[in-house]
Amino acid sequence: MLYRAHRNAGRTAALAAVLLCGVALVPPLAGAAGLGGKSVGNESVTSATGGVTASVTTMTFTTNTDQTSTVTNNGTVALVAESYSVTVSNPTGGNPTFKVFQCAVAWSATKCSGGAGTQVGATLAKNSTTTITSTTAMAVSGLLYLQVEPASVTASTVVTISTKIAAPTQLRAAVKTNQ
Amino acid sequence: MSKHRHTAMKGAGYGKIAVSGLLVTSVGLLAAAGVYAGLSATATGAESVTSGSLNLTLTGDGTSSGFSNFTPKMAPGDTDNVYVNLNNTGTLASAAGMTLGVVGTPSNALTNGSVAGEGLTLTATQCSVAWTVSTGVCSGTTTSILPTTQVSALSTATALSNVPSLAAATGQLAHVQFSLGLVATETSTNGVAPGSTIQNLTTSLGFTFTEQQRAGVATNQ
C-alpha cells in the first residue's frame, strides 16, 4: 500500500510538473492587456503570362529558298513588341546572308498580301547571333507570320529562331482598375 | 494479585464516567452559547457596471464592393484599386495606431518574396471623404497610411501611419484606397517563363486590420 501511495504521489508530481511547464511555455494571450478590434477582408489575384512561340524554330538552308514560321501569342496578356534571337551557323563555304520579314497574314508564294512584308531587324550574317525586335502588337492568341529569306547560300546553313518576350516593356500598357 | 486487578478495573470505570461527563458538559455549554450569540448589523449598496465593446468593421467604400476578386490577369505595372471603409462601430474608442497584416493563400512568388524584387505590392491612402470609385479620385484630402510596400513584407502585422485619425473615435469612418500592384522584370523564351517567376500564379490575399482599445480610465465618484 505504501509503495502504491508513493508511486501515485510520484505520478501526481510529474503530471503537475508537466502542466506547469506547459503553462510557462504558452505565451500570454495577445488580448490579455485589453480589448482588440479586428477586421478581415480577402482579395484574390492572378498574374498574367507573357510569351510567344514559333511553329518552326530551326531552318536548314541549302538553297536560296524562303522558309516560314508562324508566331503565336500563347500568353494571357497582349503584347506591343516581340523579340527574336536569331542564330546563323557557320557554313563550310560561302558567305550567306539572311533577312527576316513579317506579315500579318500567312505568306502566299513568298508574298505578303502580294507585297514583301516588313523586314524585322537588319541583314544577318553567317556565324552570328542577333536579337531583332518587332514592334507589332499581338493580341492574346494572335498570330504573326515570319519569312526568312536567304541569299548567297552555297553550303548548308542552319538558322535558329528563339522567341523572347521581356516584361514589362513588351507587354501592353499597364491597366489601372478601380473596384 | 486479584485485588490489584479489581482496583485497576474500578479505576478505569471512573475514568470513562469522567470523560462522558465532560462531553455532556461541553455540548451543553456550546448549545447555550448558540442561543445567546451577539447582535449583528448589515449594510448594502449597488453599483451597476456595463462593459464597452471594441468593434472594427470592413465594408466597401462608395460604390465599391470592397475586397473581393480581381478578375483580369494582372501584368507587371497593372494596378488593382480597392476602396474600403474601416469603421469603429463599438462603444469604445481605440488607441492610436492600427496594424495591417497580409497573408497570401496559397503562399507563392506573388506574396512570399521568393523571387527577389518581384511580386505584389500594396499602397494605402486615406481620403477625408468617400472616394469616387469610378475614377479613383479623392475630392477631399488624402493621407498616406502605407507607402508602397512588398506584400511579402506584410506577412507580420505592420503599423499603419497617420492612423490616430483613422478609426480612433467611436463611430469614426475611414475611407481607404488599397492599391495592389505587380512588380516583375522577366523574359520568357520560346513561350516559357523563367524558372523563378511570378507569372501565372493565383493567390487570395487576406487583409487583417487590428486595433487596440483606448487606455484604461480611472474614475473617482
Could you report the predicted ipTM of this complex, rounded to two decimals?
0.78
Mutate to test the interface with A, among B189, B204, B207 (most CBs of A within 10 A): B189
| 8-state DSSP, A53 | E
Q: Which residues of A touch B (CB under 8 A)?
A: 33-54, 57, 74-77, 162-168, 171-179
Mutate to test the interface with B, among A47, A72, A79 (most CBs of B within 10 A): A47
How is the beta sheet containing B99-105 ordered, strand by strand? B69-74, A36-47, B202-212, B99-105, B158-159
The beta strands (E) that lie in B151-213 are given as 158-159, 173-183, 186-189, 202-212
Give the predicted TM-score (pTM) of the model. Answer: 0.78
CA-based nearest residue in chain B for residue A48:
B73
In tens, the pLDDT along A112-168 reads 999 999 999 999 999 999 999 999 999 999 999 999 999 999 999 999 999 999 999
* Type of residue found at B178: F
Distance from C-alpha of A142 to C-alpha of B136, rounded to nearest angstrom: 32
In tens, the pLDDT along B129-172 reads 999 999 999 999 999 999 999 999 999 999 998 765 555 677 78
Comparison of pLDDT for B15 and B110, the residue scoring more: B110
Which grid cell is B117? 524584387
The pairing of strands A36-47 and B69-74 is parallel
| Cα distances (angstroms) measured from residue A149 to each of A75, B51, B54, B80 | 28, 84, 75, 45
- Cβ neighbours, 10 Å, residue A52: 25
Residue A13: per-residue pLDDT:
44
Distance from C-alpha of A123 to C-alpha of A164, rounded to nearest angstrom: 19
Query: Quick one: fold of A52-164?
Result: Jelly Rolls (2.60.120)
B199 touches A: beta carbon within 8 Å: yes
Asked if pLDDT for residue A174 goes beyond 70, the answer is yes
Cross-strand partners of B134: none
In tens, the pLDDT along B67-80 reads 999 999 999 999 99
Confidence of residue B37 (pLDDT cuts 50, 70, 90): low
Which residues of chain B from 28 to 47 reach within 8 Å of chain A, CB to CB? Answer: none
Residue A139: per-residue pLDDT:
98
CA-based nearest residue in chain B for residue A38:
B210
Which residues of chain B from 68 to 107 reach within 8 Å of chain A, CB to CB? Answer: 68-70, 72-84, 86, 88, 90, 92, 94
What are the domain boundaries of chain A? 2-27, 52-164
Q: Cβ A165–B92 below 8 Å, yes or no?
A: no
Distance from C-alpha of B153 to C-alpha of B157, rounded to nearest angstrom: 9
